[in-house]
Structure 1
Amino acid sequence: MKKLISYIVVIVACASFTQCTSSYLNTSSPSNTDDNFVTSTPSETFKALSWCYANYRQNCIMGIYRWNDPIGSDAETYPEANSSNNVNATLHPENMTIDAVSGGFNNLYVTLASATKIANIIAGKAAYQADVAAGTTSDWTQLYGEAITMRAFCYFNLTKHFGDVPYGYENTYVTNYTLTSRFAIYDSLINSLEKVEPLMYKIGDNGMTAERMTRTFCDALIGEIAFYAGGYQTIRTDVSGLYGNVQFTKKGNIANGCEYARRSDYLNYYKIAAKYLQAAITNEGTCHLITSDTRSYTNNPFQLNFQYFENLQISPESLFQLGNIQGGQSGQTTNSEYPYAFGRPSNGGSKNAAPCKTFGALRIIPTVYYGDFQKGDKRRDVSVAVTGSTGDGNEAMLSFVPGNKLSGGIAINKWDENRFNPPYTTAQRESGMDWPVLRMADVMLMLAEVDAQLGGEDQAAMDLVNQIRERAFGDSNHNISGLTGQALEDTILEERKLELLGEGTRRWDMILSGEFSERAIDVQNAMKSMIAGLQANGYYRFPNGNIISDYIWVKKVYLSNPLTYDCTDTTNAALYPGWRGQYNYSSIAGLKIGGTNHNLAIQGLFSYIDPNGPVAASLVTAGYTKTNWGIDIVNNASIYYSNILSGITSVDDPPRYYWPIPSETISQSNGKITNGYGLPSN
């Protein structure tokens, strides 16, 4: 690993750049590395800036499952037992190595340094200066704003995942650097973005898409940074004077040199957040919440957002998605990691499988699937998979036995390689699906949460939530009304959990709400109650009427259309729950397909069937097989208890969710930087 001071003197060398998104992957970079040539025109300048997108996608921490964000909450968990890959997710930072994520840390600095260099070059151009003086949005002002937005995006990632970090040293040789308060960084980032956003293009303007950082995304990023600045977070108590004059409201105990707190003037930041989150909606351009579905075979506009990704297209709901290409051609290889790491699991091999292997690092805690979704919510089956793929064109039940692929528990269903048309079956991790970063529903629900806390905006908050719920249920019968105060805030947080399940937001919602430890204890207790019921009775009934049982019964069946969609007929065992099945892989040459009955009929998934009773006997006679279900949770309870936020043992524990600053950065700081929060220092 190189020293931090090596990264903060990075200059733009366009010959080393690789283009990033699908719209410009096939262009070539110039061989001349002179700054003036590299930035001679807007198109040449963008080739340089595209390297920043590529380096963020390729090297800024997808390898550790996106910083563990999607696998460490009261809704999401990791599937394996005793793995070092989820130490951060379980909140046991003392068990991490100091250089656990050094690659991501260093490459965030590399990326932001390059973006800063490009911005500084643009700022010196007469054409850019003339456009700014005239208040004219142009390609030059867009590129400058884009570079500043990329810089802010990288620093925001650093503060989220490391807390207080070195700031502002890029492209300057330094031998004496220290930590900067995250709150000072937030202020500086907000200020820099407020200056550039008025002269950036909205999505849809001048050919801009959500694969680039636009005014629409910049507005949302300002709002999000302000939202984080005003939210609860774990701060250090072991560095005197680090936070200057910032005053805090604190919760719980001081432990490991840290405590859980929120700045006392947080409402000032929520006002900024409200202004710019609303601006993102106002300046949405061609981006919008998807509320209708024109497909003839289904009517689920919520799923349509994810189908765009599976169609290798840009979703109109995206404010920003990182581009990929399919196939990993020579010189253009991109990591299509999202469906592999977070998709619907598959036991397929690494090459020429139907579909190829999907590891499935993201699993849904069963109390959420069974207990939190209301009847009629179209998001449940789109979001959670109970079946996966064998890899030879057949559907198979997921198992609650700890593991990966078809083991490890029920999984996220939003990214399913069966729903590509056609699926890419040549090799794993090369499907070409874009990496989702931010979508409009997230922005709307952040704004609702801010409105609920500002006072006097309760109706506005509920209106935003109801737009999301009307899409989820297909009607207004499930709208919320008459809520205020904590009840409204809790409802919004619950809506965010269901809407954004598996998308890496729930962990941060828990943190920012100030209720991380309480919610961690709640889900731990919910799991204990469920397991106790399964152990004592063979089943457990949730308040909404759903039942999880020790056993289910399954049978392989033939469907002429093996890829299934919405199904409300609970008696149709082959189609309910919906959004499962398999692509018709027999239409793809060169694949080994097993048998002809590719689908599963499932009995007892939401109701109890006595294993020794007449219904079970009749199912066996009809060709069904008794299959372990909840009993595997019971038999592996200790693993589930360990994987679900086990670093929290009391509501007074400060959550410790940061990654360690790498060793070289610490050693080169001449004693001015240390790791806090109980993280390793060597």
Structure 2
Amino acid sequence: MKFYIMKKLYYSMLALFVLINTACEKDFLETQSPSELNEEFLFTAPNEVQKAIAGLYDKQYDLDRLLHYETEVVGSDSERHPENYASQGRHIPEGLFATEFNINDGNSATTWKECYQVISRANIILEGIEGNEQYQIDSKGGEPTEWTQLYGEALAARATAFKLLVRYYGDVPYFNYAIRTAGQADSIGLTSRDIIYDNEIAALKKAVPLMYRLGEAGVGAERYSGTYGDYLIGRLAFDAAGFQTRRTDFDYGNVNFEQKGKENATWQAKYVRRSDWQTYMNIAKEHYLKVVNNPGSARLIESDERGEGFDNPFQRNFQYLMDLEVSPESIFEGGYTRGKNSDFPYSFGRPSGGGGSNAYPPKNYGQARIYASFYYGDFMPNDKRRDVTACVTANSGAASERLMNFEPGSREKGGLAMNKLDEARFKDPYTLSQRQSGCNWQVVRMADVMLDLAYAAAATGDEATAKTYLTRVRSRAFSSEDQASMVTSYIAAMSGDDLLEGIAFERKLELAGEGKTRWDMTLYGTMPDRIKQLRDRQIAMVEGLKSNGYYTFPETGMTISNYVWTKFVNIKEDIDPSLNLLTAQTPDGITTADPRYPVLVPGWRGTSDLWTDYISTLSSDKVNLAIRGLYEYIDPDGPIAAALEADGYEKSPWGINMIENESQYTSDIFKGYPDSYYAAGEPPRYNRAIPFTTLAASKGLITQGYGHASE
């Protein structure tokens, strides 16, 4: 059971904190008159303020869902979308604007508006708490209390919203005071992101020491804790230190910059970081250390208590989410309620071809996909994260496996998809309806923080700390037999820029499909380079498939082929009655000579044993897939293929479908940043447009940037 469900509290107390949407013409503000909210009553007791905070969380849980879905989790050098480029308008901003885009795009405009709703509501709550006499006493006491905790939660909500606004839009309107009338907003224009970062960091530094650490006083990972507050300071400082695309038609005051490439005169922008970036990186390091040294109840999961056959602490983290339990690795989770909502794993999990309801499992679209060059070319075959991160089979929706297909599309089509969440792997699978699994969104987890800390430490010259936390995260991905070669000597050989690149690479492996890599690429100043490298690898792979029928990635020795061979098997009767593919960690050292190989490699796939009654209606040999040829080339006209086909295997298309949809996997990748842009040193244009209603209502104080239209 989840130990704190903010949503339930919100739904029961909604009437006590209604904020209207129509009182202000500027859609970056939301105001109300005092008559619509009895603030004098609301701020008299912590339990009343808690009801208002619950309303903030209800908005906060979905705050980043739309643009996360549209760009962050499908627009990196590991993550991609499943459909044809031309089939979805959202591929234009994801691919860095090969063509112009509607500035009032629904997902972008909604995110803009909802971030400012959170900010406006948070400011009202903060002002109300500041006026309470008991809070004033508690804020000077040096120890957390109910009042100081609630104040910190409201402040963290505001800072989180501004963090997202800067990420997506750049320099945005900023206000850290309550606004109740439209007239109060008349003088608000754009504010430099540097001021926003500085102000929010300063406010959090005062508030966070007076917040409970995670697990204290009933504050769990579905609420903002002091642990999250230190993470948030670190995150804001890290962002402030990083490379971002900035406007050249905007005054950043006395801030100086280091520049990558050249300025783009057409849309007036440059790719830069602050010259004093190390100051901010040191702040990031300081507060990330506070997270790992004083985490409260949070921890990195470094062992798997489930026993033989599991042995995967990386997967254990995600299994907590699928068991509808808060993971001990979580710093913050967005809380969802079964039967009401949850895009997880519908959008970011293992796909299912089931219908919208009463299926095994119901439809899962599979928005987050994995590049084949990342899967085959970056993961070592003994990395325990590979099979948990990406899946080669989908759920059919009828309690059986179906081979993924590289034809563009959804569900089982669209190529390799995510496997960190799988409705078949739920402790209590929900088969009644799609998008209602109740699975939380794990927004921040300890491994994320540790790798950010490692990068900040390495960037500021503290390589010992960097290697300590890089080692802790990487160690759990390999067996004890592989530690010396895959962890100890691997990390020991790194220093300087190689260490920074190694940490960036580890984040890519660790966080694939979680929507973190695109922003990493941006902040590290490597987005142009990584786009070019990705496209070159994909092209080399497709050319190899066309010329030879296969391609072997030199970094890993793994081979992708045009075809694989598959057949349905009854693993309980014909292979091993103890096997459950769904929770199987592939045994170390297993080879193709082992009769279990076709069903154990790759691991972490299959269907739910809990669907026994339904499965019994299927033919016994139509549940699980045996697969050969995923990582080896089998000549379609050779003796191995002939033997497999004699044994009941069918030749199934694999890489050949990338050849038949070549542009999808090569030239359409980051279509708005072609090779000519890279050669010219152009800045990446990832920033979203400010909605027209905001521009129109600002009377010229807020202007559009980055070459986007103004109407």
8 Å contact kept, 2:243–2:523? yes
CA distance in 1, matches of 2:8, 2:329: 18
Instruction: Name the counterpart of 1:566.
Output: 585
Amino acid at match of 1:185: I
Residues 153/390 of structure 1: CA separation in 2 closer, same or farther (3 Å cut)? same
8 Å contact kept, 1:236–1:257? yes
1:105 to 98, 103, 112: 112
Instruction: Name the counterpart of 1:546.
Output: 558
Instruction: Report the Cα offset of residue 590 of structure 1.
Output: 11
Q: TM-score, normalized by length of structure 2?
A: 0.89
Q: Which moved more, 1:496-505 or 1:583-592?
A: 583-592
RMSD: 1.8
8 Å contact kept, 1:183–1:229? yes
Instruction: Name the counterpart of 1:40.
Output: 44
CA distance in 2, matches of 1:458, 1:178: 42
Instruction: Report the Cα offset of residue 515 of structure 1.
Output: 1.1
After superposition, residues 16-415 of structure 1 pair within 5 angstroms as: 21=6, 24=9, 27-29=12-14, 31=16, 33-58=37-62, 60-81=63-84, 82=86, 83-92=88-97, 94-100=99-105, 101-168=108-175, 171-172=178-179, 173-239=184-250, 241=251, 243-255=252-264, 256-296=267-307, 297-328=309-340, 335-415=341-421
**Secondary structure of 1:250's aligned partner:** strand
Instruction: Name the counterpart of 2:708.
Output: 679
CA distance in 2, matches of 1:216, 1:681: 41
8 Å contact kept, 2:231–2:288? yes
Residues 594/352 of structure 1: CA separation in 2 closer, same or farther (3 Å cut)? farther
List per-residue Cα deviations over 1:185-238 (Å, max 9, x = no partner).
111110110010110000011111010001000001100110010110100012
CA distance in 1, matches of 2:583, 2:288: 36
8 Å contact kept, 1:231–1:262? yes
**Secondary structure of 1:320's aligned partner:** strand
8 Å contact kept, 1:249–1:261? yes
8 Å contact kept, 1:585–1:593? no
Instruction: Report the Cα offset of residue 484 of structure 1.
Output: 1.4
List per-residue Cα deviations over 1:127-182 (Å, max 9, x = no partner).
11111122221010000011111100001110011100000066322223211011
Instruction: Report the Cα offset of residue 30 of structure 1.
Output: 5.9
Instruction: Name the counterpart of 2:536.
Output: 525
Q: Tell me whether 1:471 sits opposite 2:476 in the alignment.
A: yes
Residues 130/466 of structure 1: CA separation in 2 closer, same or farther (3 Å cut)? same
**Secondary structure of 2:444's aligned partner:** strand
CA distance in 2, matches of 1:281, 1:610: 51
8 Å contact kept, 1:322–1:435? yes
Amino acid at match of 2:602: P
Instruction: Name the counterpart of 1:598.
Output: 623
**Secondary structure of 1:84's aligned partner:** coil
List per-residue Cα deviations over 1:435-458 (Å, max 9, x = no partner).
111011011100110111111x11
CA distance in 2, matches of 1:105, 1:325: 25
Q: Tell me whether 1:584 sits opposite 2:609 in the alignment.
A: yes
Q: Which moved more, 1:88-97 or 1:187-196?
A: 88-97
List per-residue Cα deviations over 1:386-442 (Å, max 9, x = no partner).
110110111011100111111000011111111112211111111001111101101
Residues 605/308 of structure 1: CA separation in 2 closer, same or farther (3 Å cut)? same
Unaligned runs of 5+ in 1: 1-18, 329-334
Instruction: Report the Cα offset of residue 24 of structure 1.
Output: 4.1
CA distance in 2, matches of 1:94, 1:179: 26
CA distance in 2, matches of 1:599, 1:218: 45
CA distance in 1, matches of 2:98, 2:330: 33
CA distance in 1, matches of 2:652, 2:350: 20
Instruction: Name the counterpart of 2:435.
Output: 429
Residues 383/181 of structure 1: CA separation in 2 closer, same or farther (3 Å cut)? same
8 Å contact kept, 2:79–2:370? yes
Q: Tell me whether 1:622 sits opposite 2:628 in the alignment.
A: no
Task: Count residues in correspondence.
Answer: 654
After superposition, residues 439-454 of structure 1 pair within 5 angstroms as: 439-454=445-460
CA distance in 2, matches of 1:591, 1:79: 33
Instruction: Report the Cα offset of residue 646 of structure 1.
Output: 2.1
CA distance in 2, matches of 1:676, 1:592: 59
1:498 to 502, 509, 515: 509
CA distance in 2, matches of 1:209, 1:592: 43
8 Å contact kept, 2:561–2:630? yes
List per-residue Cα deviations over 1:278-311 (Å, max 9, x = no partner).
1111220110100111102411110011011101
8 Å contact kept, 1:30–1:38? no
Q: Which moved more, 1:26-35 or 1:143-152?
A: 26-35
**Secondary structure of 1:577's aligned partner:** coil
Residues 29/105 of structure 1: CA separation in 2 closer, same or farther (3 Å cut)? closer
